[in-house]
Chain A
Amino acid sequence: MKIGTKAAILAAVSAFAVGAAGPAKAQNLTMAVGAQITSLDPHYHALSPNFAVATMIFDTLTQFDADARMEPGLAESWKVVSPTAWEFKLRPNVRFHNGNPFTAEDVAFTIGRVPQVPNSPSSYAIYTRAIERVEVVDPLTVRFHTRSPYPVLPNDLAQVAILDRETHDQASTDDFNSGKVAIGTGPFRYVDFRSGERLRLERNEEYWGDKAHWNAVDYRVVVNDSARTAGVLAGDVDFIDQVPTSDITALKRDERVKLAEKDGLRIIFLALDHLHPEGSPQITDKDGKPLGKNPLLDVRVRRALSMAIDRQAIASRVMEGAAKPAGQFLPEGAFGHVPGLDAPKADPEAAKKLLAEAGYPDGFRITLSGPNDRYMNDGRIVQAIGQMWTRIGIRTTVDAQPWTAFISRAGRQELSAFLVGWGTASGEASSPLRSLVASYNRDKGFGFSNRGRYANPAMDAKLEAALAELDDGKREALLQEATTIAMQDVGIIPIHIQKNLWAMRPTLTHESRADELTRAQDVRPVAAR
């Protein structure tokens, strides 16, 4: 029996162990991404991983290149024809995967469908709301009439995947997920989708643009960071995104992989409580007694808090180089970036002086909150800032929580100071200005993510003027002025702009995108370039 047992164990072990991973075929690509795909319906849930998938199967009228500059998609050109009308010329001879031709009727149908998707937890209607009416001029010309002058319409339309009227009339979200109607004009065709596991695609041979290199793509969801890194090291996958910064050093030395990085459009910043003038919920004096007023309403205090932060140290040590210190929302080159508005230099001594001037020579106590599972190294950044603030005399308690709990509290204005991030997918400054620092106003749709309730009428006025300005040059100047006002008033405290990281086999090359999207058409073999 002893022998029998041993044999059984051996057999069991060897049955599992034998055989090595075969090399992936040259024409196939296996990718592992860190974020969940929740739906293949491109209008169901506005979420960047879903949109990345949508841009593989579908197309949009306008689109962003890797540097977040707008370029033609299914529309060849567009122009303003009256203050409230845009005319788009469509690309001829484009066909959907099932052979149906793409025409202006499909555009009109798509704009009509977007707000109608049932049960959507976050609708793409925010990108089509400005459109009052779609006018089909001829099969390849379409006019969008807006309620008021709306300069960012082309930016918004870059988020809206175009569907086929014939195929998608009455199509439900389930029909997309089952693959029945996952039919677009994009560079890949649907093969198979397992929610939470993988999406399989094949090349669209009839694609109107640059054809993708890969015959077949296996797009897997691997949420665990270590597992993704192990996957690319073991050669099970060819390509991964969201490389954890703690792995950067090891991966750079490893010959089995190479890294690609790109300055992103996601800013990490601190928001401060402006809502409670009679005393912020998490601020007390040194003895734990209420202050009777909110020190954060004093711009000198805000400036001191910003100057206390050594952004360079956070970028190089906490982020291992995967971040750039920031002094405004957008990186250089983006629309509305203010040249010369750089990250404030760390100066604890000057910060202390400012605090004394503001009437807080001994500082005060504050709680700094933040998520610990949302942004790269978020929990550690919050800790580092807490120490820097304590150094200038503001005794900081650090409270890092899971995103689910944290964001609900921030949304209820229960926090005094907290770290969040903002990705500007459109690469255009009106998006962060409008959501993060404009005064909270339901009717205008301003300040939706302005959880600290910062308010500055001068900034609001500039922004509103910019949002109605159709001339790009004038609009950019207005956005720059608005940004300068908000930053000089320390409406938020910018920390850094993240770099996006990908890792892949050394034989591959990646056109890395500023907007963080991970897509199969951006990956090619080195030789094919």
Chain B
Amino acid sequence: MSVYLLRRLLQSVLVMLAMSVIVFVGVFAIGDPVEILISPDADQMERERAIKALGLDLPLWMQYLSFLGNALRGDLGRSFVFNEPALQLILQRMPATLELALGATIMALIIGLPLGLYAGLKPKSPLSSTIMAGSILGFSLPTFWVGLMLIMVFAVQLGWLPSTGRGPTVEVLGMRWSFLTWDGLRHLAMPALNLALFKISLVIRLTRAGVRETMLMDYVKFARAKGLSPARVTYVHVFKNILIPVVTVVGLELGSTIAFSVVTESVFAWPGMGKLIIDSINVLDRPVIVAYLMMIVLMFITINLLVDLAYSALDPRVRLENK
């Protein structure tokens, strides 16, 4: 187990190093941050000062080495734009993204699992066909468009929900969370649903496929023959076995939701990390881009690890050492 963890850790360090090199070179290739940040009223002297102030006067490899040196001491640099430590900027925005991603995932499970179960158990019923057709819509409609439609219907036409932004927050554990207030929940509803739509469809499809496959298994037949109640067969024997693919996919999806909820966050003006990264890319705020992507890599590695651990808990046949 510990050898396995160590190897994972080493891998992740290598991936993060590679990532930082790619981002450094990438931002350098896209353009010159000073050209974007500097006031048009400026002159050549001011430009030279700004280049120096941001440390962009050194050759790229020297900039990279000094970044690495600082990173080893836990300092990922200061944002060019905000003059705040990049890591702190990202961490400030994290609770907003986390609650959005978790809200979406919970919605996906609460809505997707029962619907998928139903569609799997009664594949012939008209309701099942409707559910499956709906899930295709959920897959194929672009998030951007759905978000705008949600706003048009629920905020502009019906006036039930606030159109954009995050509601009032409550400070817990030094972070600001909005899901603890009623108004906060109302602000959370639409973006979370928007983000969840794709996931709901995914969970429905996975669950249905799993149920249909498992229902034909010998152990299910045996359980039935033993005279167990249909409920017990469904919820204990079938359900537990279909959870493995669902957990894998939902876990990975959670990661990509946290990392890439950019579209939803910008449509709903949700002040999370996705919006931060897109804003930072727009002004080539390299310290923030590097810090963000490195954090995301770390997060994916962690989530993969947790998924593997969950496997071994759900399926006794899986042993991590054997991998």
- A-to-B contact residues, CB < 8 Å: 1-2, 5, 8-9, 12, 15-21, 32, 36, 38-39, 41, 44-47, 118-123, 125-127, 129, 173-174, 177, 194-198, 220-224, 226-228, 230-231, 233-236, 373, 402-405, 407-409, 411, 422-423, 425, 431, 435, 442, 445-446, 448-449
In the bound complex, do residue B40 and residue A449 qualify as a contact, i.e. CB atoms below 8 Å apart? yes
Whether B161 lies near A227 (C-beta < 8 A) is no
- In Å, the complex CA distance between A230 and B164 comes to 8
Q: Report whether A122 and B281 are in contact in the complex, using a CB–CB cutoff of 8 Å.
A: no
Contact B107 A196 (CB under 8 A): no
Contact partners of B84 in chain A: CB under 8 A: 174, 177, 195
CA distance A471 to B212 in the complex (A): 89
Given contacts A227-B268, A236-B163, contact A195 B43 (CB under 8 A): no
Q: In whole angstroms, what is the CA distance A45 to B226 when docked?
A: 75
Q: Is B41 in contact with chain A by the CB < 8 A criterion?
A: yes
Beta-carbon nearest neighbor of B281 in chain A: A404
Contacts A119-B53, A234-B159; is A411 near B35 (CB within 8 Å)? yes
Contacts of B38 in A (CB 8 A): 121-122
A435 lies within 8 A of B41 (CB):
yes
Among A19, A120, A224, the one with the most B-chain Cβ atoms within 10 Å of its Cβ is: A224
Residue pair A12, B110 in contact (C-beta under 8 Å): yes
Q: Which residues of A contact B266 (CB under 8 A)?
A: 223-224, 227
Residue among A123, A234, A449 facing the most chain B CB atoms (10 A cut-off) = A234
Q: Do residues A15 and B36 form an inter-chain contact, with CB atoms below 8 A?
A: no
The 6 closest A-B pairs by CB, nearest first: A408-B31, A445-B43, A16-B189, A46-B39, A197-B271, A121-B37
B2 within 8 A of A: no
- Name 10 extra pairs, CB < 8 A, besides A122-B39, A446-B43: A16-B185, A46-B39, A120-B53, A121-B81, A123-B50, A227-B266, A231-B165, A403-B282, A404-B284, A411-B35
Which residues of the partner chain B approach A129 to less than 8 Å between Cβ atoms? 45
In the bound complex, CA of A373 to CA of B159 (Å): 31
Q: From known contacts A196-B276, A230-B155, infer whether A47 and B39 are also in contact, taking CB-CB under 8 Å.
A: yes
Question: What residues on A are CB-neighbors of B44 within 8 Å?
Answer: 442, 445, 448
Within 8 A of A (CB), among B64-81: 78, 80-81
A437–B283 Cα gap in the complex (Å)?
26
B211 contacts across to A, CB distance below 8 A? none
Query: Which of A173, A198, A230 is B156 in contact with, Cβ under 8 Å?
Result: A230
Q: Note all chain B residues with C-beta closer than 8 A to A233.
A: 156, 163
Q: Give per-residue flags for B253-279: 1 if the beta carbon is below 8 A from chain A beta carbons, else 0.
A: 000000000000011110100011001
- Bound CA span A243–B9, Å: 49
Is the beta-carbon distance between A408 and B39 smaller than 8 angstroms?
no
Residues of B within 8 A of A408 (CB): 30-32, 35-36
Question: Which residues in A have their C-beta under 8 angstroms from that of B159?
Answer: 20-21, 234-235
Closest to A441 in B: B44
Quick check: A123 and B160 within 8 Å, CB to CB?
no
How far, in Å, is B204 (CB) from chain A's closest CB? 13
Residue of A8, A119, A226 touching B114 (CB-CB under 8 A): A8
Asked whether any CB of chain A lies closer than 8 Å to the CB of B237, the reply is no
Q: Closest Cβ of chain B: how far from A402's Cβ, in Å?
A: 8
State the CA gap A32–B163 with chains docked (Å).
12
Contact B151 A174 (CB under 8 A): no
CB within 8 A of A448: which of B30, B47, B231?
A: B47
CB-contacts of B157-201 with A (<8 A):
159-166, 182, 185-186, 188-189, 193
Report the nearest B residue to A20, measured CB to CB: B159
CB of B34 closer than 8 Å to a CB of A: yes
The answer to whether A8 touches B284, judged by C-beta atoms less than 8 angstroms apart, is no
Cα distance A1–B81 in the bound complex, in angstroms:
54
B148 x A195 contact (CB < 8 A): no
CA distance A236 to B269 in the complex (A): 13
CA distance A119 to B54 in the complex (A): 6
Distance in angstroms from B151 CB to nearest chain A CB is 5
Residues of B within 8 A of A120 (CB): 50, 53, 83
Bound Cα distance from A363 to B112, whole angstroms: 62
What residues of B have a CB within 8 angstroms of the CB of A425 in the complex?
A: 41
Alpha-carbon separation in the docked complex, A20 to B50 (Å): 48
Shortest Cβ gap from B11 to chain A (Å): 32
Distance (whole angstroms) from the CB of A384 to the closest CB of chain B: 24
Contact A19 B152 (CB under 8 A): no
By a CB distance below 8 angstroms, the chain B residues around A442 are 44-45
User: In the complex, which residues 196-227 of chain B have their Cβ closer than 8 Å to any Cβ of chain A?
Assistant: none
CA distance A173 to B42 in the complex (A): 21
B164-A44 in contact (CB<8A): no
12 interchain pairs (CB within 8 A)? A9-B111, A19-B160, A21-B155, A44-B83, A119-B53, A121-B38, A197-B165, A223-B279, A224-B267, A234-B159, A373-B282, A422-B40
Output the least CB separation between B261 and chain A (Å): 14
Q: Give Cα A403 to B83, complex, Å.
A: 22
Residues of chain B contacted by A234 (CB below 8 angstroms): 151, 155-156, 159, 162-163
Tell me if B89 is interfacial: C-beta within 8 Å of chain A: yes
Please state if B186 and A19 are interface contacts (CB–CB under 8 Å): yes
Query: Quick one: which of B33, B44, B47, B165 has the most chain A CB within 10 A?
Result: B165
- A467 → chain B, closest Cβ, in Å? 13
Least Cβ distance of A445 to chain B in Å? 3
Shortest beta-carbon distance, B198 to chain A, in Å?
A: 18
Known contacts A230-B148, A404-B31; decide if A119 and B83 are in contact (CB<8 Å): yes
Q: How far is the CA of A145 from the CA of B160 in the complex (A)?
A: 61
B41 touches A195 (CB 8 A): no
Q: Nearest chain-B residue to A448 (Cβ)?
A: B43
Query: In the complex, are the beta carbons of B47 and A121 less than 8 A apart?
Result: no
Q: What's the least CB distance linking B320 to chain A, in Å?
A: 35
Which residue on B lies nearest to A36, using beta carbons?
B279
Q: Tell me which residues from 128 to 172 in chain B have a Cβ below 8 Å from any Cβ of chain A.
A: 148, 151-152, 154-156, 159-166
- Set of chain A residues within 8 Å of B83, measured between Cβ atoms: 39, 41, 44, 118-120, 173-174
Contact check, A220 vs B162: say whether CB atoms are below 8 A apart. no
Chain A residue numbers with a CB within 8 Å of B315 are: none
Contacts of A47 in B (CB 8 A): 39
Residues in chain A near residue B39, CB distance under 8 A: 46-47, 122, 126
Asked if A448 and B42 make an inter-chain contact with CB atoms under 8 angstroms apart, the answer reads yes
Cα–Cα, bound, A121→B32 (Å)? 12
Give the residue of A5, A122, A227, A403 whose beta carbon is less than 8 angstroms from that of B42.
A122
Answer whether A445 and B156 are a contact pair too, CB < 8 Å, given A17-B161, A224-B269: no
Flag if B78 contacts A119 (CB, 8 Å). yes
Q: Which residues of B contact A220 (CB under 8 A)?
A: 165, 269
Q: Which residues of A contact B57 (CB under 8 A)?
A: none
Contacts of B43 in A (CB 8 A): 126, 435, 445-446, 448
- Taking a contact as CB atoms under 8 Å apart, the answer to whether A197 and B166 are in contact is yes
**B151 adjacent to A405 (CB under 8 Å):** no
**B92 located at the interface, meaning its Cβ lies under 8 Å from any Cβ of chain A in the complex:** yes
Q: Taking the nearest CB of chain B, how far is it from the CB of A267, in angstroms?
A: 12
Could you tell me the distance between the alpha carbons of A118 and B154 in the complex, rounded to whole angstroms? Answer: 46
- Residue of B49, B53, B162 touching A236 (CB-CB under 8 A): B162
